[in-house]
Amino acid sequence: MSIREAMERARSEYQVHFLLTAYIEHLQYSDCARFLPAHLTALPLNGVSDLKRRHDVLGVLIAIFSQDVSAAEGVIRDAYELFGIALQRLRCLSTAQDSVRETA
């Protein structure tokens, strides 16, 4: 199972944060880190707003490098996709928790 699949199937916010932290650590200790601004691969994550900011920055980088088919673009696109999956999953889990609270 890939990290993307694991994140899409995560059953808790903790699992999403754990997987995303593992991904960011992978970026930090691989050659991929040189393609990304340091603040995108810094830990710890500081909540959904921090994750959204990082995702937005990656979107801007994709727009800047849209004509450049290089290793940098691949790393940026992968990170953008994974951060987006994490955001989507966290929002879904938050909505589910809110629904449970309302019915209780």
Mean pLDDT of the chain: 89
- Phi–psi pair at 26, nearest 5 degrees: -60, -45
Give the whole-angstrom CA distance, residue 74 versus residue 58.
11
C-alpha separations of 85 from 14, 29, 43, 70, 102 in Å: 14, 22, 18, 23, 26
pLDDT score of 96 more than 80: no
Confidence of residue 14 (pLDDT cuts 50, 70, 90): very high
- The per-residue pLDDT for 74 is 85
Tell me the mean pLDDT in the region 62-74: 76
